[in-house]
Amino acid sequence: MADIIKLLPDHVANQIAAGEVVQRPASVVKELLENAIDAGATTIKLVIKEGGKTLIQVIDDGVGMSATDARLSFERHATSKIQKAEDLFNLHTKGFRGEALASIAAIAHVEMHTKTEEDEVGTHLKIEGSTIVSQEVTVTPKGTSMMVKNLFFNIPARRNFLKSSQVELRHIIEEFQRVSLAHASISFHFYNNGNELFNLPSSNHRQRIVNLFGGKIKEKLVPVDEETQVVTISGFINKPEYAKKSRGEQFFFVNDRFIRSPYLHHAVVSAFDGLIKKENHPGYFLYLTVDPASIDINIHPTKTEIKFDDEHTLYAILRSTIKHSLGQFNVMPSLDFDKNQNLETPYEYKDKLVQQPKINVDSNFNPFKEEMLRTNYRPNFQKQSTKGWESMYVGMDSEDDEKEADTSITYESDTITGSIFEGKKSNFETASTTFQLRRKYIVTTIKSGMVVIDQSRAHQRVLYERFLKNITIKGGVSQQLLFPLRLAFTKSDCAIIQEIKESLITVGFVFGTIDEEEVEITGVPLSVPESEVGMILDQLISDYQQDFVVDGFSQTDVLSKTLSKSLAVKTGEILDSDSQLALVNDLFACKESGVSPFNKPIYVTITESDIDKKFL
Ligand code: ADP
Ligand code: MG
């Protein structure tokens, strides 16, 4: 048989390698920013057009390249950063693989202008799909400008796979945040479609965080500082009360490199144990400095995962350091007299007219109990009884219950035939025996025994189907707010809201202006109370960050899920008997009454024979 093995031509090999290095425009941004940092830049400018699909440009004032180096830099495995394998264990640079430029040039139109301090003139190089199109002498300042146009122009499948410009921009912002947080002393400018998105002067970590995430973050930060033989930890954690439903700001840097580490993340979360709710996430900006020889950065092609020699020790140190900072913070006085209250109100209420509160005298009203506040917006459930003490006995009033049970049992045996939930609606309408068990379940009788329904999941299902329907037929009913609500968000959160705005409108949200860091809301869906809008949007943003859903169908699905979860009655809420009944009826009118939107069972049935067995 003839020999069949051939070496792949370079441009093919480069395209294959590019698949690993360049997943999306944000990957290019990361590589170019890192190269600029490695080149010793003090000022870096990032210019983006259409989410990086048409243009990504990084301009630095670093060391630049000679004409020969400029050409060489696009070769695979061409790097100035390591020379031998041992150098891998003493890395002080971001790059070392010598792959990024070769990969990028294989799948885009690249133009480079570069000049060193010593050279009189610089080099202008044009490359398209690994082929050098032109090389000229040019007049250019010291440093390097890399322009990457038409990403994936020669791989249509990859290009089509790119998301909307807004989604790609969000990924770019994420990378930009990571790189700029790691290098606070370098000044960064970020222009998107001609507008300045970020202007970050050279500063320290704290100021950099504030410049990136807005002044409101200042009051949330608690400093962290610890020096041990193994590691130096510095940075900030967010105060526990600012923990959010969305993951939001969680950053680990090891030797000025952003890294992901579920293990160290766990250490931080466990330090917050008991201080924040289970479903909330702590925010943190933690900078770890370790001996480069004690880590291996080489295990991941995009270098966001690293291996530590002694993970366990690191875990323990990190956890106790965070605990210590939290402890110190707790003993500090919580009043800050320097604070200008007007500026620090979380939502812009300052333009709001003073409103006379509507007083509903209710001696049992407890303002700290969520359940009391949530009652009047459930679309289909009536207001719960104001007599709190009475509701405590719901389901315990044995005399009444027995009577009711008697009548309904008679009724059921007359009418219910066939499978238990067929023709169910009328059965439940007439079955007036429902009671609430431990503020969690609604119990009702059926012909063959009884059904125990998880109230929260049942309501989720009802709301979920209603929202889905509203979105599909674009029939969301909204209630206009008397005073528009202005909510502050980070820039990337605002970008997400922009993305999902259309779907939000279909369920009944009405938007005023959406700025870079503020969203104005003038109307909300009928069932959404004003006080929950911020929380709901937070949750939505976090769900989107996790799922990256963009196509129409899943967007409506995620939106409906999130809204139903946020708005459903919760375990622990008291429902009066009318509400219980309405919920049961609505549930069994649903298309899929058996499982919650999150695929959890909603009810169980317990038959008479199940009960009989217990009495054997
Ligand atoms: P790596 O960063 O892993 O070395 P790259 O492909 O990103 O690989 O870059 C190849 C080489 O090109 C670098 O080692 C560096 O010498 C040079 N280079 C790339 N970008 C710049 C820049 N902005 N300024 C100066 N030199 C650069
Ligand atoms: Mg590089």
pLDDT band at 9 (very low <50, low <70, confident <90, very high): confident
Mean pLDDT computed over every residue of the chain = 80
Burial of 98 (C-beta count, 10 Å sphere; 0-12/13-18/19+): middle
pLDDT surpassing 70 at residue 185: yes
Q: At what angle do helices 491-507 and 533-547 cross, to 10 degrees?
A: 110
Q: At what angle do helices 491-507 and 552-567 cross, to 10 degrees?
A: 90
CA 40–ligand 2 middle distance (angstroms) = 13
Atom of ligand 1 nearest to the CA of 103: 6
Atom 21 in ligand 1: which residue has the minimum CA distance? 35
**Which tens digit of pLDDT belongs to each residue from 318-370?**
999 999 998 877 634 333 333 444 443 334 344 445 555 555 455 554 544 44
How do beta strands 122-128 and 187-192 pair?
A: unpaired
Angle at 207 between CA 203 and CA 212, to 5 degrees: 105
Does the beta carbon of 78 lie inside 6 Å of ligand 1? yes
**Which tens digit of pLDDT belongs to each residue from 444-472?**
988 888 899 999 999 999 988 888 887 77
> Which tokens belong to 240?
């526990």
pLDDT surpassing 90 at residue 212: yes
Residue with the larger pLDDT of the pair 403 and 97: 97
177 three-state secondary structure = helix
Does the beta carbon of 14 lie inside 6 Å of ligand 1? no
Does the beta carbon of 166 lie inside 6 Å of ligand 1? no
Mean pLDDT, residues 86-98 taken together: 82
* Among the bound ligands, the one closest to the CA of 102: 1
**What pLDDT does residue 364 have?**
55
Atom 12 in ligand 1: which residue has the minimum CA distance? 73
Residue with the larger pLDDT of the pair 221 and 383: 221
> Which tokens belong to 595?
């499982």
CA 98–ligand 1 middle distance (angstroms) = 7
Q: Rg of the chain's alpha carbons, rounded to an integer?
A: 30
CA 571–ligand 1 middle distance (angstroms) = 57
N- to C-terminal Cα separation, the chain: 79
Residues 395 and 437: beta-carbon distance below 8 Å: yes
Domains in the chain, start-ordered, CATH in brackets? 10-200 (3.30.565.10), 212-328 (3.30.230.10), 431-604 (3.30.1370.100)
Half-sphere exposure of 21 (CA within 13 A, CB side): 26
Best probe residue, ligand 1, of 22, 101, 103 (max atoms within 8 Å of C-beta): 101
Does the beta carbon of 73 lie inside 6 Å of ligand 1? yes
CA 330–ligand 2 middle distance (angstroms) = 43
Residues 303 and 297: beta-carbon distance below 8 Å: yes
Atom 25 in ligand 1: which residue has the minimum CA distance? 64
Q: How far is the C-alpha of 259 from the C-alpha of 267, rounded, in Å?
A: 15
Does the beta carbon of 98 lie inside 6 Å of ligand 1? yes
pLDDT surpassing 90 at residue 515: no
User: 96-105, 117-126, 477-486, 487-496: which has the highest mean pLDDT?
Assistant: 117-126
Q: How far is the C-alpha of 186 from the C-alpha of 336, rounded, in Å?
A: 32
* Among the bound ligands, the one closest to the CA of 103: 1
Does the beta carbon of 61 lie inside 6 Å of ligand 1? no
CA 293–ligand 1 middle distance (angstroms) = 23
pLDDT band at 301 (very low <50, low <70, confident <90, very high): low
User: What phi, psi does 112 have (nearest 5°)?
Assistant: -120, 135
Does the beta carbon of 74 lie inside 6 Å of ligand 1? no
Helical segments of 332-358, H only: 341-344
* Among the bound ligands, the one closest to the CA of 143: 1
CA 145–ligand 1 middle distance (angstroms) = 12
With left for phi above 0 and alpha for psi between -120 and 50, is residue 165 left, alpha or beta? Answer: alpha
CA 34–ligand 2 middle distance (angstroms) = 6
**Which tens digit of pLDDT belongs to each residue from 113-127?**
999 999 999 999 999
**What pLDDT does residue 384 have?**
37
* Among the bound ligands, the one closest to the CA of 83: 1
**What pLDDT does residue 495 have?**
83
pLDDT band at 226 (very low <50, low <70, confident <90, very high): very high
**What pLDDT does residue 92 have?**
83
Atom 20 in ligand 1: which residue has the minimum CA distance? 35
* Among the bound ligands, the one closest to the CA of 100: 1
Does the beta carbon of 60 lie inside 6 Å of ligand 1? yes
> Which tokens belong to 106?
């294989």
